[in-house]
């Protein structure tokens, strides 16, 4: 904890500096709004708070223990991964549905122009994306307890 | 080297390519390159009616890597400089074999290991600079000389260090395509085409020195593309360019200086965010060096780089790519109509703003989830326990959320 403690101060300072710099200018304020989830996560880490760590570990342990009784490990892992993939796909589909729902035809007819006039504020998309990533992180922690992908041998790998 | 793999991840042999395909693809690459270079150097100087600018910046620079993300490395078979080098190699070997029994590989030096992919990283940053900063980026003549210069450098490098070693490390575009092709569900080994699950090729990406830098250069230049089109840059740039211009530079040069600074800043920002994540993970690994740890997780940046390219350039490819039909019929801009398609026009309304934004959001989120998966899997072998691995991944989560939010901010007009 001592080495971690020593590095906490610079990270907290960095967070404060980034936040201050972004908030200082109105043009950068939207950036701050976009980056708020990342800054929040970084602050938690800087403070040494690993929210939900125990719960992820408990769920992951339960998942590792269960397959040993029934089937061999590999198919169980594969099933877990398939389920994880299905959930990831559902999340992606949901985000796609949100973005499609969020943009009625009024926003069309711009061609390849920018999307500066979204009916939903842009930072909301950033927050939704951050939520998807956080869910993926938890899902990986619980459903992917062992190394599954290895380097393959061969010239063109 | 032969690490055991899980059953479900075994690669499946799909088909064997015919022997004639490689030389034919090489000849095609040489022919197309000759056409584009001729068009650039002898055709019209109007960028919109000359084939070269559209071909270089849409087909070569964006569409070919993106196609390789799906179909595997497509550049290696059609690389014109590789084809020429192989032909020259064969010719030299034949003449030598007739004369003497000296060792044939006498002229080829081993590629310096420490140099790694740094030349490719520098080259990718340079190509990004030409594309986004240089005033003459669309000038066909300038592009023509750049094509020939690029080829000359690659031929010299391949002659010195061998075709494969040079292309794996130093040829910027070959490295770019080689790296992103690890995402593809298809891989070619010799003439065999193997199928695999997407992304599962990335853990075997050889992260030699400079690979992380090359990926940061790719990500940074794409981020700068978004930044330089956003309202923030538009607001800041004129004043800053004026300040640079006060030093006695012409407005064009002042703009280039400012663009160069912006590009360097974007690359540094990307490298800094990744570096901060690695620094955080290092707190949890006992004894691992920062650089080594950075290299261990560099492959998780590849899907992000692909996502950034898709998000920033797919509308360019689908819209400006349509111009190819007309340009191919009239490559020199001389009024020719080779295929009868010279009068086709671009349908700018093909993509709605909603479609573009939807693809951008989904590409960014999917790419970053892919990065998280790869980093998580790598963490399980890097850290001593599951708990430590998951803990370390909180840093990667911050990196990924940061990159996603940054990308969305830049794409929504910053």
Judged by CB atoms closer than 8 Å, whether chains meet at B401 and A129 is answered as yes
Judged by CB atoms closer than 8 Å, whether chains meet at A41 and B11 is answered as no
Q: Can you give the pTM of this predicted structure?
A: 0.84
Closest residue of A to B279, CA-based? A7
Name every chain A residue with its beta carbon within 8 A of the beta carbon of B369: 88, 91-92, 132-133, 136
Give the distance from residue B331's alpha carbon to the nearest chain A alpha carbon, in angstroms: 25
Count of pairs with CB atoms under 8 A, one residue in A, one in B: 219
B167-203 pLDDT, tens digit each? 999 999 999 999 999 999 999 988 899 998 888 889 8
B134: CB partners within 8 A, 6+ apart:
B142, B256
Name every chain A residue with its beta carbon within 8 A of the beta carbon of B11: 152
B45-82 pLDDT, tens digit each? 888 889 999 999 999 999 999 999 999 999 999 999 99
Partner residue opposite A150 with nearest CB, options B203, B315, B348: B203
Name every chain A residue with its beta carbon within 8 A of the beta carbon of B319: 111-112
Partner residue opposite B408 with nearest CB, options A96, A116, A126: A126
pLDDT in the model for residue A154: 46
A92: CB partners within 8 A, 6+ apart:
A132, B362, B365, B366, B369
Alpha-carbon distance of B317 to B69, in angstroms, equals 15
Cα A94 off chain centre by = 15
B110-169 pLDDT, tens digit each? 999 999 999 999 999 999 999 999 988 889 999 999 999 999 999 999 999 999 999 999
> Phi and psi dihedrals of B12, rounded to 5?
-110, 135
> Phi and psi dihedrals of A75, rounded to 5?
-60, -35
Name every chain A residue with its beta carbon within 8 A of the beta carbon of B372: 133, 136-137, 140
Q: Which residues of chain A are modeled with pLDDT < 50?
A: 1-3, 68-74, 100-114, 153-157
Alpha-carbon distance of B271 to A73, in angstroms, equals 39
Give the distance from residue B384's alpha carbon to the nearest chain A alpha carbon, in angstroms: 12
Query: Which run of H or of E encompasses B163?
Result: helix B163-169
Judged by CB atoms closer than 8 Å, whether chains meet at B283 and A4 is answered as yes
Cα A62 off chain centre by = 23
Question: Does the structure show a pLDDT above 70 at B381?
Answer: yes
B176: CB partners within 8 A, 6+ apart:
B65, B120, B124, B214, B218
Alpha-carbon distance of B139 to B53, in angstroms, equals 7
Name every chain B residue with its beta carbon within 8 A of the beta carbon of A45: 280, 394-395, 398
Partner residue opposite B368 with nearest CB, options A133, A149, A156: A133
Residue linked to tokens 């408990």: A58
B22 conformational bin, left if phi > 0, alpha if psi -120 to 50, beta if neither:
alpha
B224 versus B240: the higher-pLDDT residue is B224
Helices (H), B200-301: 211-229, 231-245, 251-282, 290-296
pLDDT tier, B103 (very low <50, low <70, confident <90, very high otherwise):
low
pLDDT in the model for residue A101: 47
Mean pLDDT to the nearest integer, B376-389: 85
Name every chain B residue with its beta carbon within 8 A of the beta carbon of A42: 398, 402
Q: Cα B204–B210–B212 angle (5° rounding)?
A: 65
pLDDT in the model for residue B372: 92
Query: Which run of H or of E encompasses B186?
Result: strand B186-189
Question: Does the structure show a pLDDT above 90 at B206?
Answer: no
pLDDT tier, B236 (very low <50, low <70, confident <90, very high otherwise):
confident
pLDDT in the model for residue A19: 75
* Contact A43/B at CB under 8 A: no
Interface predicted TM-score (ipTM): 0.82
* Contact A145/B at CB under 8 A: yes
Partner residue opposite B361 with nearest CB, options A11, A95, A134: A95
B7-32 pLDDT, tens digit each? 345 678 889 999 999 999 999 999 99
Q: Are B52 and B40 in contact (CB under 8 A)?
A: yes
Question: Does the structure show a pLDDT above 80 at B346?
Answer: yes
A90-101 pLDDT, tens digit each? 666 665 555 544
Handedness of CA A131, A136, A138, A139 (dihedral sign): positive
* Contact A124/B at CB under 8 A: no
Residue linked to tokens 């986004």: B132
Give the distance from residue A29's alpha carbon to the nearest chain B alpha carbon, in angstroms: 10
Judged by CB atoms closer than 8 Å, whether chains meet at A136 and B414 is answered as no
Partner residue opposite A96 with nearest CB, options B204, B362, B405: B362
Name every chain A residue with its beta carbon within 8 A of the beta carbon of B10: none
Name every chain B residue with its beta carbon within 8 A of the beta carbon of A107: 352-354, 357
Chain A stretch 14-33, residues whose beta carbon is closer than 8 A to a beta carbon of chain B = 14, 27-28, 30-31
pLDDT in the model for residue A16: 77
* Contact A67/B at CB under 8 A: no
Judged by CB atoms closer than 8 Å, whether chains meet at A152 and B235 is answered as no
First to last CA, chain A: 40
């Amino acid at each position: 904890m001592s080495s971690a403690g020593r590095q906490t101060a610079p990270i907290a300072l960095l967070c404060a500096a980034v936040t201050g710099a972004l908030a200082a200018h109105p043009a950068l304020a939207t950036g701050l709004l976009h980056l708020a989830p990342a800054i929040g996560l970084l602050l938690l880490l800087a403070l040494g708070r690993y929210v939900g760590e125990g719960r992820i570990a408990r769920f992951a342990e339960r998942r590792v223990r269960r397959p040993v009784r029934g089937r061999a490990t590999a198919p169980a892992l594969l099933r877990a991964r398939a389920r994880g993939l299905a959930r990831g796909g559902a999340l992606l589909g949901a985000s796609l549905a949100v973005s499609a729902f969020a943009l009625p035809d009024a926003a069309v007819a711009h061609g390849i122009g920018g999307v500066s006039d979204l009916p939903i504020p842009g930072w909301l998309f950033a927050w939704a994306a951050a939520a998807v990533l956080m869910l993926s992180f938890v899902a990986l922690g619980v459903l992917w307890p062992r190394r599954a992908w290895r380097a393959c041998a061969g010239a063109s790998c | 080297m032969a690490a055991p793999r899980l059953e479900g991840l075994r690669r499946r042999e799909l088909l064997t390519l015919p022997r004639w395909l490689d030389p034919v693809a090489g000849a095609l690459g040489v022919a197309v390159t000759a056409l584009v270079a001729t068009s650039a150097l002898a055709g019209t100087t109007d960028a919109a009616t000359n084939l070269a600018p559209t071909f270089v910046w849409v087909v070569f620079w964006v569409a070919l890597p993106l196609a390789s993300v799906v179909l595997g490395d497509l550049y290696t078979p059609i690389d014109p400089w590789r084809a020429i080098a192989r032909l020259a190699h064969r010719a030299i070997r034949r003449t030598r074999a007739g004369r003497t029994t000296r060792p044939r590989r006498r002229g080829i030096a081993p590629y310096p290991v420490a140099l790694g992919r740094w030349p490719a990283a520098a080259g990718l940053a340079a190509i990004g600079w030409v594309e986004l900063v240089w005033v003459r980026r669309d000038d066909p003549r300038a592009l023509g000389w750049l094509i020939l210069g690029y080829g000359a450098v690659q031929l010299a490098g391949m002659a010195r260090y061998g075709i494969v070693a040079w292309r794996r490390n130093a040829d910027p575009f070959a490295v770019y395509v080689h790296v992103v092709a690890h995402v593809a569900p298809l891989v070619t080994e010799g003439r065999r085409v193997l199928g695999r699950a997407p992304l599962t090729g990335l853990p075997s990406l050889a992260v030699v020195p400079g690979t992380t830098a090359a990926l940061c250069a790719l990500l940074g230049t794409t981020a700068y593309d978004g930044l330089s089109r956003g309202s923030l840059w538009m607001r800041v740039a004129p004043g800053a360019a004026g300040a640079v211009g006060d030093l006695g530079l012409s407005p064009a040069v002042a703009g280039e200086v400012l663009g160069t600074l912006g590009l360097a800043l974007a690359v540094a920002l990307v490298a800094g965010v990744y570096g901060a994540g690695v620094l955080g993970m290092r707190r949890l690994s006992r004894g691992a060096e920062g650089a080594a740890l950075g290299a261990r997780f560099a492959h998780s940046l590849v899907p992000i780089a692909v996502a950034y390219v898709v998000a920033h350039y797919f509308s360019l490819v689908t819209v400006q790519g349509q111009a190819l039909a007309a340009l191919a019929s009239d490559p020199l801009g001389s009024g020719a109509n080779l295929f009868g398609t010279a009068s086709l026009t671009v349908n700018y309304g093909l993509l709605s703003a909603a479609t573009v934004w939807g693809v951008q959001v989904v590409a960014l989120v999917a790419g970053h989830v892919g990065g998280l998966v790869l980093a998580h899997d790598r963490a399980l072998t890097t850290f001593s326990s599951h708990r430590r691995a998951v803990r370390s991944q909180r840093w990667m989560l911050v990196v990924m959320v940061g990159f996603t939010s940054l990308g969305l901010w830049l794409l929504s007009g910053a």
